[in-house]
Structure 1
């Protein structure tokens, strides 16, 4: 449903509910999250790009929300349990990450006189090095020891890495399709099924070298004006191309239907373990989409891969 249609429906709802006090809300379910707001299911009607108040954070498909109907529907808040405990845990995890990103030395000062205060020890030889994250580590060799040394922190798990595609495109009838600006699946006009792809060169392999991959996720956004507005599935495949081929785009493992999106929506796919292993080892090089006919026709952008290590 277009924004204009949503506005018209909102007016109809307002008329039907004319006896209700201004500012009343109704329950609705979020179908998808978009860059403008959310797509919601309200009594079987799909409302697109409904704006949300700023306090509605961490939006996701499946949320039940309080919708204020009217000429311009607005999502007021999320319905459900108090998210306070979840927020506390998330804030604490972020704080730990920030602390680990900083140097562990509180202060570094010097002078010609001895330091003031207690607990200082004389260093016979000072060693320092830079670890794999670029953080400085110090070790002081003492002539005599008056206090036990604190334990060195455990080795930190490598931070997640996000890799954007180096190229993308669409193929139709065995060759690149110059009429599609973004990866596209299916056939809307009867001129042949399209297959789209994202390419990463050796960036994924290089990022995974010497590390244990715990998870790979990919973020996609369904573009507006491609196919029907309702949710449709992405038909995902692996491919083995480093860069866009001049001929046909080969499809390997697949299809996997890991994500469905309504128009304008953004979603994240978690790749199956065999797929992430192939990408990490270089046995596969990127992702592709392909569908037959108009039912699941759509154009998709994004393709950033986030790799989490253990």
Structure 2
């Protein structure tokens, strides 16, 4: 919690007390989500890393929230419509995924006599196999069919894969910047514009081999202590290096897929043409580059989640 945020919270708390308000909260807009809470616009100022009550779930930029001001402001709850319907849809989707992951068989019994009850069919030969996901499939070859077989379940798309970078770094004036372990963009000191990159080897193309890619999403975190606290866009590029080179060359770009305030986490969808190049191995990874001090910033992360159809 910065001194400026603390002073703002105290001023707002005093203003509420002087006005005789009994609500004890003020409205604020969430700018970004961070690992310590949220960055919010409150009283016309950007307040960083405001902690949140457990009741504030499903946090996202653009939410309007109720904040309890004070020496340490706290987000109490989200303002707006009841999110129950959206939560139900999410829960149903997760439940369906879990059901597909579990091998389901209601009962397995045996004995020397024929089974009791109706609906049984005698199997002449029983076949079984494991599918690509390691699930067991059974097939019974019958002498005659008295009850039609249910349809075989539809094929399921391969599970999503998350690929993380093997390494990352920054380059300036055509060579590796040994003072910066994280990717930077821009120039804050006049020493030359920085470019940073994430390197994955051949992991992206290997994960996509033999599959149809539906989407790729990449996640980043804006590092604290790098440039202005307000939101700054990432100027993203593709590159064709499997590991850190002596001189970093940039390919397609820039694309401003994501804009983050300091400390914030964010996820962006990689464009279809970029996705195709990464999946085929024509391009190997992602990079950032900007000119001047306005968009000077540093980022970590770079994990890519790939879904298939």
Q: CA deviation at 1:197?
A: 0.7
Q: Hey, what does 1:148 align to over in structure 2?
A: 148
Rate the CA distance shift 1:108–1:183 in 2: closer, same or farther, 3 A.
Answer: farther
* Higher deviation after alignment, 37-46 or 6-15: 6-15
Whole-Å separation in 2 of the counterparts to 1:309 and 1:223: 31
Q: How does 1:69-218 map to 2 (within 5 A)?
A: 69-218=69-218
Q: CA deviation at 1:52?
A: 0.7
Q: Hey, what does 2:284 align to over in structure 1?
A: 285
> Partner of 1:18: helix, strand, or coil?
helix
Whole-Å separation in 2 of the counterparts to 1:16 and 1:95: 47
Q: CA deviation at 1:119?
A: 2.4
Whole-Å separation in 1 of the counterparts to 2:108 and 2:176: 59
User: TM-score scaled by structure 1?
Assistant: 0.95
Q: CA deviation at 1:13?
A: 1.7
Q: Which runs of 5+ in 2 are unaligned?
A: none
Whole-Å separation in 1 of the counterparts to 2:263 and 2:112: 65
Query: Does the 8 A contact of 1:63 with 1:78 survive in 2?
Result: yes
Q: Which runs of 5+ in 1 are unaligned?
A: none
Whole-Å separation in 1 of the counterparts to 2:271 and 2:249: 20
Whole-Å separation in 1 of the counterparts to 2:284 and 2:191: 28
1:230-266 deviation line (CA, Å, top 9, x unaligned): 0001000000011111x11110000001111000000
Query: Does the 8 A contact of 1:36 with 1:49 survive in 2?
Result: yes
1:203-236 deviation line (CA, Å, top 9, x unaligned): 1111111222111100000011111100001000
Whole-Å separation in 1 of the counterparts to 2:93 and 2:251: 38
Q: Please say if 1:299 is aligned against 2:290.
A: no
> Partner of 1:190: helix, strand, or coil?
coil
Whole-Å separation in 1 of the counterparts to 2:111 and 2:206: 45
1:128-149 deviation line (CA, Å, top 9, x unaligned): 1111111111101012222111
* Higher deviation after alignment, 229-238 or 72-81: 72-81
Rate the CA distance shift 1:121–1:198 in 2: closer, same or farther, 3 A.
Answer: same
Q: Hey, what does 1:273 align to over in structure 2?
A: 272
* Higher deviation after alignment, 47-56 or 198-207: 198-207
Rate the CA distance shift 1:237–1:5 in 2: closer, same or farther, 3 A.
Answer: same
Query: Does the 8 A contact of 2:168 with 2:181 survive in 1?
Result: no
Whole-Å separation in 1 of the counterparts to 2:195 and 2:165: 16
Whole-Å separation in 2 of the counterparts to 1:270 and 1:111: 56
Rate the CA distance shift 1:28–1:110 in 2: closer, same or farther, 3 A.
Answer: same
Query: Does the 8 A contact of 2:16 with 2:24 survive in 1?
Result: no
> Partner of 1:8: helix, strand, or coil?
helix
> Partner of 2:219: helix, strand, or coil?
strand
Whole-Å separation in 2 of the counterparts to 1:169 and 1:107: 56
Query: Does the 8 A contact of 1:23 with 1:68 survive in 2?
Result: no
Whole-Å separation in 1 of the counterparts to 2:37 and 2:222: 14
Whole-Å separation in 2 of the counterparts to 1:304 and 1:108: 43
Q: CA deviation at 1:112?
A: 4.1
Whole-Å separation in 2 of the counterparts to 1:233 and 1:109: 62
Q: Number of residue pairs matched?
A: 308
Q: CA deviation at 1:103?
A: 0.8
User: TM-score scaled by structure 2?
Assistant: 0.96
Whole-Å separation in 2 of the counterparts to 1:249 and 1:109: 65
Q: CA deviation at 1:23?
A: 5.2
> Partner of 2:17: helix, strand, or coil?
coil
* Higher deviation after alignment, 150-159 or 91-100: 150-159
> Partner of 1:140: helix, strand, or coil?
strand
Rate the CA distance shift 1:47–1:128 in 2: closer, same or farther, 3 A.
Answer: same
